[in-house]
């Protein structure tokens, strides 16, 4: 771990499996978030330059959270070249933002812990945080602010793709809100199965969290498919875009003694 100095503004970078998020954290909270595909490295530098330029000449720093080792190396090099300042990484350079109550702290993804930390800061008590990206993760934080672990299952698109790839005749479909509980054709039957199946899994997991906690944790959701979930699940307490970026920035602020 390294010592980090307080910064007036942070460029937070979230490197996932399919996309990269970049956003500015300052006195106004997180804003000016941008997203680029991992498969489009030609877009990384211009996006970095655009966001960095919005931070003006304040005391700035760059902090990276990643679950994609290959993408991290190149993005860190680009970020340092664009910003002219060293980038620090969650876990490698900065301690994780929550104490962990799990078997192996090196296995848990940085994104899961950062999302959980940001959700706990928002809620101020026991909470569940579900992220709907390439994979779906549902994690729990205790009332004391300890990361308790959770569940990982395939994401919406991964479920759709698996049904197409692993069968002879099922079509490839995109995740969407079902139009009717009864799938009247194969396409709609897949849409319904994936959407309602995900909602059932989410409810079951959070209910089991509640049983162990002896209280119902507030449910915060994020990720690319969170808006779809919000339309289907009436038990969601908050939808927070770019929750992971908030958690990455929070990690730096904690390490710098700013919170």
Whether the per-residue pLDDT at 213 is higher than 90: the answer is: yes
82-129 pLDDT, tens digit per residue, is: 999 999 999 999 999 999 999 999 999 999 999 999 999 999 999 999
pTM score, two decimals? 0.94
Catalytic residue among 14, 93, 111, 139: 111
d(CA 171, CA 151): 28
**Cβ atoms of 245 and 30 closer than 8 Å:** yes
34-49 pLDDT, tens digit per residue, is: 999 999 999 999 999 9
Is 111 annotated in the active site?
yes
Whether the per-residue pLDDT at 75 is higher than 70: the answer is: yes
8-44 pLDDT, tens digit per residue, is: 999 999 999 889 999 999 989 999 999 999 999 999 9
Question: If pLDDT is split at 50, 70 and 90, which confidence band does 2 have?
Answer: confident
**Cβ atoms of 121 and 115 closer than 8 Å:** no
The 29-37 sheet, strands edge to edge = 29-37, 19-26, 9-15, 60-66, 87-89
Looking at domain 110-243, its CATH superfamily turns out to be: ATPase, nucleotide binding domain (3.30.420.40)
Residues forming a β-bridge with 140: 128, 149
Phi and psi at 73, nearest 5°, equal -60, -50
Across the chain, mean pLDDT equals: 95
Does this chain's domain 9-94 share its CATH topology with 110-243? Answer: yes
Whether the per-residue pLDDT at 58 is higher than 90: the answer is: no
* pLDDT, mean of residues 237-255: 96
Residues forming a β-bridge with 15: 20, 66
Give residue limits of the domains in the chain.
9-94, 110-243
The CA R_g of the chain, rounded to the nearest whole Å, is 19
**Cβ atoms of 222 and 131 closer than 8 Å:** yes
179-205 pLDDT, tens digit per residue, is: 999 999 999 999 999 999 999 999 999
- The pLDDT assigned to 124 comes to 95
Over pLDDT 70: what percentage of the chain?
A: 100
Domain covering 9-94, topology: Nucleotidyltransferase; domain 5 (3.30.420)
Q: Is 8 left (phi over 0), alpha (psi -120 to 50) or beta?
A: alpha
- The pLDDT assigned to 244 comes to 97
* pLDDT, mean of residues 236-255: 96
- The pLDDT assigned to 56 comes to 78
Taking Cα atoms as reference points, which of 18, 250, 257, 258 lies closest to residue 119?
A: 250
d(CA 209, CA 36): 34
CA atoms within 13 Å, Cβ hemisphere of 187: 6
Q: HEC profile for the chain?
A: CCCCCCCCEEEEEEECCCEEEEEEEECCEEEEEEEEECCCHHHHHHHHHHHHHCCCCCCEEEEEEECCHHHHHHHHHHHHHHHCCCEEEECCCECCCCCECCCCCCCCCHHHHHHHHHHHHHHCCCEEEEEECCEEEEEEECCCCCEEEEEEEECHHHHHHHHHHCCCCCCCCCCCCCCCCCCCCHHHHHHHHHHHHHHHHHHHHHHHHHHHHCCCCEEEEECCCHHHHHHHCCCCCEECCCHHHHHHHHHHHHHCCCC
- The pLDDT assigned to 57 comes to 66
**Cβ atoms of 242 and 34 closer than 8 Å:** no
């Amino acid at each position: 771990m390294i010592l980090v100095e307080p910064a007036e503004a942070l460029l937070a970078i979230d490197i996932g499996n399919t996309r990269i998020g970049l956003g500015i954290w300052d006195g106004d909270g997180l804003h000016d978030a941008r997203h680029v595909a991992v498969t489009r490295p030609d877009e990384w530098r211009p996006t970095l330059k655009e966001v960095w330029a919005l931070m003006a000449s304040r005391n700035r720093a760059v902090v990276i959270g990643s679950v994609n080792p290959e993408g991290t190396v190149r993005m860190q090099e680009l970020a340092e070249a664009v910003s002219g300042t060293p980038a620090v990484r969650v876990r490698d350079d900065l301690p994780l933002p929550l104490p962990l109550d799990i078997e192996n702290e090196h296995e848990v993804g940085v994104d899961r812990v950062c999302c959980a930390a940001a959700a706990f800061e928002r809620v101020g008590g026991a909470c569940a945080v579900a992220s709907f990206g390439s994979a779906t993760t549902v994690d729990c934080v205790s009332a004391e602010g300890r990361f308790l672990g959770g569940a990982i299952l395939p994401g919406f698109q991964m479920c759709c793709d698996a049904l197409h790839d692993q069968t002879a005749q099922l079509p490839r479909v995109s995740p969407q809100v079902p139009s009717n509980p009864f799938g009247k054709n194969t396409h709609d039957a897949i849409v319904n199965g994936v959407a309602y199946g995900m909602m059932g899994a989410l409810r079951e997991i959070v209910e089991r969290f509640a049983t162990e906690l002896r209280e119902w944790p507030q449910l915060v959701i994020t990720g690319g498919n969170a808006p779809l979930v919000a339309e289907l699940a009436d038990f969601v307490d908050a939808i927070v875009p770019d929750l992971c970026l908030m958690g990455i920035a929070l990690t730096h602020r904690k390490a710098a003694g700013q919170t």
